């Protein structure tokens, strides 16, 4: 076994014995298992608030203390936050990176301090100092978005041509490529057969990314596409990789008269089942989202941290798919689900993710 894991496992068991007689330390949770540092990318998207809270609640329930930081979508700030967590002596790190390549130096510091690292949702690239990856099947996310468009437009029945515009996520997020490739794998045959036409001509990944997944950036790009490529034509579908981007796209479309006066909104996909997007789906605006149960993801990450710190083998289900450029990072991947107006009640309300009142 790796030495730092052995040492950590030893100190974790000692902490366990010592804490058997200890009292609960209140808001920070029990201290028997040590401290886990959790670095999340931003507070501006609801999902990362849910992730952060889910992880720390689960870790507290397992007897750990936690230190949770948010990097405000600033890669340098996130690197210095992680450096500070290491200096404060955290025993393990769970990190959702802002920029997949900006953490190499600080993760060397983590390795030097024998702190294991779990890459959370987004794979950290270009370093050997990332131990495990927990995420969803990211290509499947893209496939679900594409499949929705294919079904709703009736492309398999030969219908078309339809106009589609393509959006992807942040260029510095490893997931972006997986989502886009998953989608394009299914959409490309219909672009080839001209059942789908991209009037803007923007189909290459580097033409369609949206830095930091920013909704207003997507809104500006959609507005400019509508102005430049759609006089006298209408958009029938927009591939959007994430709910915040979908809402930006919908704002641009509505400002252009879509959604009223005989000009229906196009199909607009999404991801994360964020509250505002589910409400938008209920109002027949956004069409679809990909639901990823963040309670499960948080649970897998905190269980993995607990396993590593107690010298148990974490549960993995993928040892091949995620090469970070230096090594294949062993992963635990969860399955995403497509959600639209027809199934949101069953999946999100009956599933306890939202209450019916929250969605009003
Ligand atoms: C990705 C993540 C998506 C979405 C996006 C924007 O890395 O996998 O679910 O949250 O970031 O935050």
pLDDT digits (tens, 9 = 90+) for 162-220: 999 999 999 999 999 999 999 999 999 999 999 999 999 999 999 999 999 999 999 99
User: Which domains occur in the chain, in start order?
Assistant: 4-130+293-335 (3.40.50.2300), 138-291 (3.40.50.2300)
* CA–centroid distance for 154 within its chain: 29
State the pLDDT at residue 16. Answer: 38
| Pocket perturbation via mutation, ligand 1, pick of 272, 296, 338 by most ligand atoms within 8 A of CB | 272
Distance between CA 114 and CA 106 in Å, rounded? Answer: 12
Neighbours of 317 (CB within 10 A): 11
**Mean pLDDT, residues 100-117 taken together:** 97
Give the tokens for residue 51: 């992730």
| Pocket perturbation via mutation, ligand 1, pick of 39, 40, 44, 47 by most ligand atoms within 8 A of CB | 47
The Cα-based distances of 40 to 55, 118, 136, 297 in angstroms read 10, 12, 17, 14
> Kind and range of the H or E element at 115?
none
Q: What is the pLDDT of residues 247-271, one digit of tens each?
A: 999 999 999 999 998 899 999 999 9
Distance between CA 184 and CA 88 in Å, rounded? Answer: 44
State the pLDDT at residue 32. Answer: 61
Cβ contact 100:81 at 8 Å: no
292 CA closest ligand 1 atom index: 9
42 CA closest ligand 1 atom index: 12
* The total number of residues written for the chain in this structure: 360
Cβ contact 233:226 at 8 Å: no
Specify burial of residue 267 (Cβ count, 10 A radius: 0-12, 13-18, 19+). buried
Distance between CA 256 and CA 325 in Å, rounded? Answer: 43
């Amino acid at each position: 076994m790796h030495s730092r894991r052995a040492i950590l496992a030893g100190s974790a068991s000692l902490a366990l014995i010592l804490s058997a007689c200890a009292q609960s330390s209140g808001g920070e949770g029990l201290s028997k298992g040590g401290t886990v540092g959790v670095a999340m990318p931003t507070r501006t998207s609801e999902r990362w608030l849910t992730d952060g809270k889910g992880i720390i609640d689960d870790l507290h329930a397992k007897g750990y203390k936690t230190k949770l930081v948010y990097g405000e979508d600033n890669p340098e700030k996130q690197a210095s936050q992680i450096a500070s967590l290491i200096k404060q002596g955290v025993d393990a790190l769970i990190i959702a990176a802002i920029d997949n390549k900006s953490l190499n130096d600080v993760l060397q510091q983590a390795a030097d301090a024998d702190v294991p690292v779990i890459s959370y949702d987004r794979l950290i690239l270009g370093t050997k100092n990332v131990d495990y990856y927990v995420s969803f099947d990211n290509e499947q996310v893209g496939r679900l978005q594409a499949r929705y468009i294919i079904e709703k437009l009736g492309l398999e029945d030969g219908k078309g041509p339809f106009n589609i515009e393509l959006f992807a996520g942040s260029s510095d997020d490893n997931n972006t490529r997986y989502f886009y490739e998953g989608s394009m794998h299914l959409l490309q045959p219909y672009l080839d057969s001209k059942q789908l036409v991209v009037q803007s001509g923007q189909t290459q990944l580097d033409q369609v990314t949206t830095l930091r997944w920013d909704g207003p950036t997507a809104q500006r790009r959609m507005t400019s596409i509508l102005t430049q490529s759609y006089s006298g034509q209408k958009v029938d579908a927009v591939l959007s990789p994430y709910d915040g981007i979908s809402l930006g796209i919908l704002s641009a479309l509505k400002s252009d008269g879509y959604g009223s006066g005989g000009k229906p909104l196009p199909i607009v996909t999404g991801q994360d089942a964020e509250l505002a997007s589910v409400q938008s789906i209920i109002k027949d605006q956004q069409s679809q989202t990909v639901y990823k149960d963040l309670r499960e993801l948080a649970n897998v990450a905190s269980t993995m941290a607990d396993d590593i710190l107690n010298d148990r083998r974490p549960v993995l289900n993928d040892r091949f798919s995620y090469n970070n450029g230096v090594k294949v990072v062993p992963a635990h991947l969860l399955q995403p689900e497509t959600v639209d107006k027809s199934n949101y009640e069953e999946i999100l309300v009956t599933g306890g993710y939202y209450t019916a009142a929250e969605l009003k």
